[in-house]
């Protein structure tokens, strides 16, 4: 847990992981032990087509979860967590049915690893009720696969009207290099299912590979603060080019982008000297 500059609590979590209940390498008990030892405040066990019950492990909150997938000519993986009941979905379900079933069961619906899935932005905007999407997914990257980063794809979808809270997850299968690189910090007043889910749905989420980041809009100025400093901060908007895109030089702790009327959305990434990145959420205008 991190306390930010205003005194708010941000709980550390992993919202996407697999166990021996599907194709993960560790049992649920082993998985909980590993994440507890890594200092996590909460996790969600999201096995393929297997709804895990909510749990608690030595003070660590364990959210219920599941991952539904469809792989035909197109690939969709929809992760749900915080479910209050088993959606009892049939294997033939379409992506929209997966989202609807997760939400009817009280859960949060996430479009998982869109870049890895080669998701089409024109199809992404047609999905209704997507709460979150993963800007980063550990197991989609080296050495297990490729395309862990979905930021560019989500930016394109966002220009077309797609809206979702960004998360960063491990999607842990192997409990090696895939464990501990995809992190969310969620702002909440307490560590409980309801407070964490509420924080996620409000977008009070820092998706990151490790470092923490703060941001706010001060009038028309988008301000980013990196408490531990970083190598550079980059801003992403609907504009092809802006001279304000990159803030660099020495150790960057604060960076700004003055938004003009042509900007319809903005987000930022802070890249550390070790390459580890923290992401802001989108702000829309
Ligand atoms: Zn998946
Ligand atoms: Zn997965």
CA of 79 to the centre of ligand 1 (A): 8
pLDDT of residue 71: 84
CA of 69 to the centre of ligand 1 (A): 7
Which of the listed residues 208, 233, 264 is the one where a domain comes to its end? 208
Residues 90 and 179 grouped into a single domain: yes
What CATH code is carried by the domain that includes residue 269? 2.60.40
CA of 35 to the centre of ligand 1 (A): 20
pLDDT of residue 72: 84
Residues 107 and 39 grouped into a single domain: yes
CA of 213 to the centre of ligand 1 (A): 27
Residues 50 and 178 grouped into a single domain: yes
pLDDT of residue 156: 98
Tell me the ligand closest to 113's alpha carbon.
1
Place of tokens 């959305």: 265
User: Which are the contacts of 100, defined by CB distance < 8 A and separation ≥ 6?
Assistant: 129
CA of 22 to the centre of ligand 2 (A): 10
Residues 117 and 145 grouped into a single domain: yes
Which residues form the domain of 101? 2-208
CA of 272 to the centre of ligand 2 (A): 27
CA of 212 to the centre of ligand 2 (A): 24
CA of 236 to the centre of ligand 1 (A): 26
Tell me the ligand closest to 24's alpha carbon.
2
CA of 17 to the centre of ligand 2 (A): 6
Tell me the ligand closest to 77's alpha carbon.
1
Residues 80 and 191 grouped into a single domain: yes
CA of 70 to the centre of ligand 1 (A): 10
What CATH code is carried by the domain that includes residue 198? 3.20.20.140
Tell me the ligand closest to 78's alpha carbon.
1
Residues 44 and 160 grouped into a single domain: yes
Residues 150 and 277 grouped into a single domain: no
pLDDT of residue 73: 85
CA of 73 to the centre of ligand 2 (A): 19
Residues 150 and 177 grouped into a single domain: yes
Residues 90 and 228 grouped into a single domain: no
Which of the listed residues 208, 229, 262 is the one where a domain comes to its end? 208
Residues 177 and 40 grouped into a single domain: yes
Tell me the ligand closest to 17's alpha carbon.
2
CA of 226 to the centre of ligand 2 (A): 30
Considering its fold, how many domains does the chain have in total?
2
Within 10 angstroms of residue 242's Cβ, the number of other Cβ atoms is 17
For the chain (285 residues), the mean pLDDT of every run of 10, in chain order, is 97 98 98 98 98 97 98 93 96 96 98 98 98 98 96 98 98 96 98 98 98 98 98 97 96 98 98 97 98
d(CA 207, CA 84): 25
pLDDT of residue 43: 98
CA of 67 to the centre of ligand 2 (A): 6
CA of 280 to the centre of ligand 1 (A): 23
Which of the listed residues 162, 191, 208 is the one where a domain comes to its end? 208
pLDDT of residue 67: 98
Residues 63 and 162 grouped into a single domain: yes
CA of 125 to the centre of ligand 2 (A): 22
Residues 224 and 157 grouped into a single domain: no
């Amino acid at each position: 847990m991190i306390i930010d500059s205003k005194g708010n609590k941000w709980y550390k979590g992993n919202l996407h992981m697999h166990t021996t209940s599907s194709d993960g390498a560790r049992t649920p008990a082993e998985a909980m032990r590993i994440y507890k030892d890594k200092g996590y405040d909460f996790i969600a066990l999201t096995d393929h087509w297997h709804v895990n019950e909510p749990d608690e492990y030595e003070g660590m909150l364990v959210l219920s979860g599941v991952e539904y997938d469809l792989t035909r000519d197109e690939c969709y993986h929809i992760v749900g967590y915080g479910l209050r009941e088993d959606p009892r979905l049939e294997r033939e379900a379409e992506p929209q049915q997966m989202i609807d079933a997760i939400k009817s069961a009280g859960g949060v619906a996430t479009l998982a690893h869109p870049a890895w899935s080669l998701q089409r932005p024109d199809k992404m905007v047609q999905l209704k009720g997507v709460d979150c999407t993963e800007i980063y997914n550990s197991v989609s990257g080296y050495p297990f696969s490729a395309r862990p980063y979905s930021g560019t794809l989500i930016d394109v979808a966002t220009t077309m009207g797609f809206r979702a809270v960004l998360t960063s997850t491990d999607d842990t299968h192997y409990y090696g290099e895939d464990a501990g690189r995809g992190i969310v910090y969620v702002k909440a007043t307490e560590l409980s299912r309801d407070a964490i889910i509420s924080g996620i749905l409000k977008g009070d989420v820092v998706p990151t590979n490790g470092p923490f980041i703060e941001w706010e809009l001060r009038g028309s100025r988008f301000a980013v603060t990196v408490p531990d400093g970083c190598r550079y901060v980059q801003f992403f908007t609907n504009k092809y080019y802006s001279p304000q895109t990159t803030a660099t030089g020495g150790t960057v702790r604060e960076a700004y982008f003055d938004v003009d009327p042509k900007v319809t959305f903005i987000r930022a990434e802070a890249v550390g000297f070790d390459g580890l990145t923290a992401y802001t959420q989108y702000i829309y205008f």
